[in-house]
Structure 1
């Protein structure tokens, strides 16, 4: 992506909010195609100093040229804001990210899959219990073994939650490590490990491609829904 990636993008997004046809885009009833104001260079530098990491270039330029968050894929891009002198991302599940560890490389490899399969095979089923209270106790005990595996803090170091897809499914932007700048999908709510988001060509999805693909598709939907 070149330095021209974000030229005119803010205007295109805001224009989508003017037409009633834009309401048909998934998630738009929440973000309404509104964007926070862009950050200044000094604010971005302050943010990077706080997290101890350099932001991925595409995302950094987005913050400077488009906005600090708002309209975007699914229910929008989580805004990053300075609250009482400290920067943080805000949104459903944003607190899953450990902002004190964003300088650490994001691990490409998740939990041992054989261990995951073994745990899933041992998961209690309600129909196997005569009393609901016994099932509740069993599933609670199983959760105590499951969550440290799938939701281990080390699994998501070096990344921030960037968007919420609904039903506890989310997407992460990788800040540090070999995957820097790429988007990873988080469907752990469905007992799946985080996975690299791939585009239609099977290539890793970077932040800019993720956002601009959404924008192009939103404009197409609007044009199709608009009266001729």
Structure 2
């Protein structure tokens, strides 16, 4: 990976802290366009030694040249920090990732895709019930079957939660397996399955594309914001 793509990115993000109307960018009220310090080579080596994986190249270069987390898509990139001798990612839902299983390939089709498809096909629909109470009972019974399958830790091995859109909607960075280096969307809170995040042309988002697309849109949005006062 050519790490020169990250040259000047930290400075571009920092420049947005002085832009008027910065809160127009979604999530900026949370991260304020601030970045954590980059990791040192020694810290990155320690992180990878402890987790037992070589992180995706684009993300490794981001950690070394831009920051260990902070300003970024949605409410920002979850920071990775050393806490009491252990490395961990911090943010809403970060604990969903099993850091002891990062070397396992992320299951692109899910840990049990047939079970998911069957459950989705059996989702109760309100129009099929004469009484709302019966529909509510059916939904409750369905969710009792759905949640253990959909939220199984086996479905997110080899990945870390990297960002949140709020309301328990999150994005994952895939660490191991065929999807390594790509971003996946997680809207399971609304009964939607995990799926790859795609750009406007339907191309899967890599970490670099995900981050730089956000930065370019934020710069354009703030540059075109009307001047007040």
- TM-score in terms of structure 1 length: 0.91
- Residue 149 of structure 1, CA deviation: 1.2
| Contact 1:7-1:65 at 8 Å conserved across structures | yes
- Residue 34 of structure 1, CA deviation: 0.5
Matches within 5 A, 1:86-165: 86-110=86-110, 111-112=113-114, 113-121=116-124, 128-129=132-133, 141-165=141-165
Matches within 5 A, 1:19-34: 19-34=19-34
| Contact 1:119-1:146 at 8 Å conserved across structures | no
- Once the two structures are superposed, residues 148-190 of structure 1 have per-residue CA deviations (whole angstroms, 9 ceiling, x without a partner) of 1111111000000000011111100000011100000011111
Matches within 5 A, 1:171-190: 171-190=171-190
- Give the whole-Å Cα distance in 1 for the aligned partners of 2:122 and 2:102: 30
Instruction: Please give the secondary structure, in 2, of the residue aligned with 1:200.
Output: coil
Specify the alignment match of 2:76 in structure 1.
76
Specify the alignment match of 1:204 in structure 2.
204
Structure 1, 141-150 or 103-112: larger mean CA deviation = 141-150
- Give the whole-Å Cα distance in 2 for the aligned partners of 1:31 and 1:141: 39
Count of residues paired in the alignment: 224
- Give the whole-Å Cα distance in 2 for the aligned partners of 1:166 and 1:43: 30
- Residue 203 of structure 1, CA deviation: 1.2
Structure 1 gap ranges (5+): none
Structure 1, 112-121 or 18-27: larger mean CA deviation = 112-121
- Give the whole-Å Cα distance in 2 for the aligned partners of 1:16 and 1:50: 34
- Once the two structures are superposed, residues 22-75 of structure 1 have per-residue CA deviations (whole angstroms, 9 ceiling, x without a partner) of 221110011000011000011011111111110000000000010000000000
Measured on the aligned residues, the alpha-carbon RMSD in Å equals: 2.3
- Residue 198 of structure 1, CA deviation: 1.1
- Give the whole-Å Cα distance in 2 for the aligned partners of 1:186 and 1:66: 25
- Residue 221 of structure 1, CA deviation: 0.5
- Residue 122 of structure 1, CA deviation: 8.0
Structure 2 gap ranges (5+): none
**Runs of 4 or more consecutive aligned structure 1 residues displaced over 4 Å after TM superposition:** 122-125, 138-141
Specify the alignment match of 1:6 in structure 2.
6
- TM-score in terms of structure 2 length: 0.90
